[in-house]
Chains A and B, each alone.
Chain A
């Protein structure tokens, strides 16, 4: 299940893998909704094995950027590259196939379905043999087994009866299920949209550790967040989005949170 997790060499804190190589990049993204220009010539670059935070004021176009990177929406103009090759995601499923997984702010879980059903939604496992081929029968047992293993890998097993419906879980537990889904299918890039916004202090701590854990398995993370302390705590680099485009990219060690907020709101000119 976590074939990719196993096959990619873990990166240590110092980042022994060459982390200056762009894993996913975009140039000149444009997106308009009617009269509103959400993205206006936006660039983006995610490097291998890093946690890249994306911050920006409300309406700066962060969500649109994320939707395009995750395949939920398509840009009007601009190009994307994955591993140096041109990429285009016509649907979330296409992004999944390319190894780009997203944990949406609303989590995109189906509340009435079980944890296992949610993990495998859209990627169900069928039985082997005739039952699977002719009757298209699902292998519930196998899916539940894998779901259980995935949740235990993430340290989330303590909470769950895997057949429990998602609506019976707490906010943090749901977040855990969404993260498990994002990492369960060999994704290389995990995009997380405001993963701590709806959570309490304890649950936020846990999600932040999950993000670091994902990185330690060699995956790359895009973290969209409003929470500056969280961003500065985990991010390797910070992409500051303003007025529909990338204003600059900074390293958290080089600037204070106040500075980052000032760049983001336009109170201070961006560093060159």
Chain B
């Protein structure tokens, strides 16, 4: 009881929780507080082998790996194909082709960051787009109201997922596996398997095709869908890194009990994530109409698998709590670059799947290696 905090500071390095870094010359008893922080920060990695530092770098910047792979694949296909690939038109075409997957992938990233998975994203997207179309054409609602209804349906699906995961505590994989079937079946039953033709939409409800609109910059073509994807990813990147909600998403994915004991309501965070994911899927449904022109209940069949692929290649850990939404975007772009590049090379499209499959396994292996740092 005669001790005071000052005395701890002085002898802290001698007896206490040291870094194991005996060579930390600046850590002596007399060193000022500011110095010791700097010393610890600078010294610790300096004594570690280079591989450890690489690992640490990736650990802290989970989007660096997919960014590196993206740049390499761009360079590779650029060398192989030259101007045919490295043109503003071709490069922005890749963006257009990944816009829908990128948006669904954003929803998927949120869920996976909480250590969940959402298999229903594609079905929710399609149902939302069908609702937007059918509410306009079957019930004669103004397109804006129909779009709002589409978002409401997306949010509702997300809320059901969120309720079952957060409140009833069912495993996300099973919940969303069930919701995938339910939503997809609802989609076919409700739409009566009927497609709304592109010409009709353009003539009567062009708002539904809004995201197919284009902004041209020289040869580069940016659809509004691409712009929406980039804006969404930027907005979510901000929310995840700069707001308390974002920190809580990571904390809940990392260790839900710990987050709960620290005073975070894990239930509320999970619920908000699934609802937001549903809303983002509805946005993807709207963008999907812009991309294909028509409203089709059979569109986007593989969006759930493609979104998980983008997330995994993007370095987001399936175990939750690690990764970034920007990484997911890089992951989606890698898939886009491979698809277009191989097609321009005239290769069998199966090569794309084969290479993407390899990338997925490599990405998971890299994730394990980086995560092993934790123990």
A residues with a Cβ closer than 8 A to B are 12-13, 70, 72, 91-93, 96, 102, 104, 106-113, 117-118, 121-124, 126, 135-138, 140, 148, 152-162, 164-165, 167-168, 170, 172-173, 175-176, 181, 202-203, 205-206, 209-210, 212-213, 215-216
Contacts and interface: CB of A to CB of B under 8 A. Distances in A.
A159 B19 contact: yes
A156 B36 CA distance: 10
Interface in B187-232: none
Nearest to A111: B374
Nearest to A140: B242
Contacts of B2: 13
A96 B37 CA distance: 29
B321 A12 contact: no
A19 to B, nearest CB: 13
Contacts of B321: 110, 112
Nearest to A15: B1
Contact of A172 (B8, B17, B33, B40): B17
A161 B20 contact: no
A240 to B, nearest CB: 24
A213 B3 contact: yes
B265 A137 contact: no
A158 B20 CA distance: 12
A202 B12 CA distance: 11
A154 B282 CA distance: 50
Contacts of B8: 154-156, 206, 209-210, 213
A72 B266 CA distance: 13
A71 to B, nearest CB: 9
Interface of B: 1-9, 12-13, 15-20, 27, 33, 36-37, 40-41, 44, 59-60, 238, 242-245, 247-248, 250-251, 254-255, 257-265, 321-322, 373-375
Give the most central of B245, B255, B322: most A CB within 10 Å.
B255
Contact of B243 (A118, A137, A203): A137
Nearest to A117: B247
A270 B33 CA distance: 50
A206 B16 contact: yes
A112 B29 CA distance: 31
A20 B6 CA distance: 30
Contacts of A152: 9, 33
A108 B244 contact: no
Contacts of A118: 262
Contacts of B13: 158
Nearest to B16: A206
Contacts of B265: 91, 93
A92 B3 contact: no
22 contacts: A12-B1, A106-B258, A110-B262, A111-B254, A112-B250, A118-B262, A122-B264, A138-B242, A140-B242, A148-B33, A152-B9, A156-B17, A157-B33, A158-B9, A158-B12, A158-B13, A162-B37, A168-B373, A206-B16, A209-B8, A212-B3, A213-B8
A212 B5 CA distance: 11
Given A121-B259, A203-B17, 14 more contacts: A108-B255, A108-B258, A112-B254, A117-B251, A136-B242, A152-B33, A154-B5, A155-B6, A155-B12, A156-B17, A159-B17, A172-B16, A206-B16, A213-B4
Given A92-B262, A202-B16, A157 B247 contact: no
Contacts of A161: 37, 40-41, 44
Nearest to B253: A112
A121 B263 contact: yes
A181 B322 CA distance: 23
